[in-house]
Amino acid sequence: MKQCSNLFPNKEAFIIFALYIILFVFQGVFVTASKTENGGYDYNTTLVVFLSELLKLCASAFLYSYKRDWYRQKHKPYVVYINKPHIFRAICMNYKLLLLYFIPSLLYCFYNNLAFINLSHYDPTSYYILLQFRVVLTALLFQFLFKKKLALMQWVSLAILTIGCMIKNFDAASIQSKTDNDLWSQVFNIYFLSINFQNFCSCLAGTYNEYLLKTKGSNVDIFLQNVFMYLDSVICNFFILMFKGELGTIFDDFGSLADTFVILITINSAVVGIVTSFFLKNLNSILKTYASALELVITAVVCYVLFNIVITAFTVLSICLVSIAVAMYFKNPVSNVNMNVADNKDKVPLLEVTTNK
């Protein structure tokens, strides 16, 4: 019971954990289903990411305003003015936090755009397994930011998880080597580098986002923090579109976004973003990597049923190792108690900020 309480502090935390896994499995399936016969996409993937971030921003702003209206009905006006200010005033009050969110926003921007590129060159099971290289890097960043050392068994679990990823990676390389004798070129190609850069973006963005949620922004409403994140993300993705020279063709590309799976990708991505913020606020980025690993088992089965993607012996072995690693971690998890490590000067309540102002 103590282990469960450390892993999931309450029922809501477990629901968030399960919902996170389910939504990401759906995302992989939707993206795969949206591919053309040659493995590409007949829609502007950067525009889809941009619209997803815009939808997240609108949803977060709406939820913050709705929560503020509910709060206003329960409290006196001056209490609302201090603790739940209007969204534009809240942004001005916390402009420093808004600027800090540019770091994870830019990294998530790279991550989301690379997801489409890498999924076009890997089947979903291989893609998710290769993404598990981010586990060790996430653990290192977690230790650095939160000053919390992992136990030996937790590192053993991470090592087993990494080995499982390597087995699947060489499995993919060995299959491709049947048509190309240069094995190393199959392992260390441009897409292998691309997916590892995606791993780096995911690790740093997720861990730093958790750091902001639990430290610098611990006294700021989570929906307002999401507004900061996605406002910055919209700006970053706008510049990505401009860099790719696709701003002039945005309206021409809207017709291709009417596809059912593209709409599902956009909506599902928006929901995933909001659920992820609750995951990092109530749980931690270490458990998030294990949740991602659990997606492998479900994704492998779902894609076998829907797309007839073969599950090889190497894939089965890799999934077994991932499952063992997850089970070991569940027995000795990182505690989800308050890990707020910010100095007191960084944790100024809204009440004090408003009063001083």
Mean of pLDDT values over 308-336: 80
Helices and strands in the chain, H and E counts: 18, 0
The pLDDT assigned to 268 comes to 92
The pLDDT assigned to 193 comes to 79
Asked if the model's pLDDT at residue 71 lies above 70, the reply is: no
What letter represents residue 21's amino acid?
Answer: I
The pLDDT assigned to 316 comes to 82
Rounded Cα distance, 235 and 201, in Å: 17
Q: What angle do CA 210, 5, 22 make, to 5 degrees?
A: 60
Are 150 and 132 in contact, with CB atoms under 8 Å apart? no
Rounded Cα distance, 295 and 23, in Å: 10
Give first-to-last CA distance, the chain, whole Å: 47
Rounded Cα distance, 159 and 325, in Å: 8
* More confident call, 57 vs 189: 57
Rounded Cα distance, 182 and 138, in Å: 32
Are 55 and 270 in contact, with CB atoms under 8 Å apart? yes
Percent of the chain with pLDDT over 70: 77
Q: Tokens 């290289």 appear where?
A: 133
Asked if the model's pLDDT at residue 111 lies above 80, the reply is: yes
Asked if the model's pLDDT at residue 12 lies above 60, the reply is: yes
Rounded Cα distance, 5 and 16, in Å: 15
The pLDDT assigned to 254 comes to 74
Lowest mean pLDDT among 3-7, 164-168, 192-196, 285-289: 3-7
- Per residue in 76-91, is it b (16+ CB within 10 Å) or e — as a string? eeeebebbbbebeebb
User: What are the tokens at 157?
Assistant: 């679990």
Instruction: Kindly tell me the burial class for residue 42, based on how many C-beta atoms sit within 10 Å of its own C-beta (0-12, 13-18, 19 or more).
Output: exposed
- Per residue in 313-331, is it b (16+ CB within 10 Å) or e — as a string? ebbeebbebbbebbebbee
Rounded Cα distance, 57 and 273, in Å: 10
Q: How do the domains of the chain map onto residue ranges?
A: 2-356
Rounded Cα distance, 352 and 348, in Å: 6
Rounded Cα distance, 158 and 322, in Å: 9
Alpha helices per DSSP H over 244-339: 250-253, 260-282, 285-307, 313-331
The length of the chain is 357
Mean of pLDDT values over 17-42: 84
The pLDDT assigned to 187 comes to 46
Rounded Cα distance, 330 and 322, in Å: 12
Sign of CA dihedral 112, 115, 120, 125: negative
Rounded Cα distance, 30 and 268, in Å: 9
Q: What is the pLDDT of residues 286-305, one digit of tens each?
A: 888 888 777 777 777 787 78
Q: What is the pLDDT of residues 141-162, one digit of tens each?
A: 888 888 888 889 889 988 888 7
Rounded Cα distance, 96 and 212, in Å: 11
Q: What is the pLDDT of residues 124-145, one digit of tens each?
A: 666 766 776 777 888 888 888 8
151: left (phi over 0), alpha (psi -120 to 50) or beta: beta
Q: What is the pLDDT of residues 168-223, one digit of tens each?
A: 655 544 444 444 444 445 445 567 778 888 888 888 888 999 899 888 888 888 89
pTM score, two decimals? 0.76
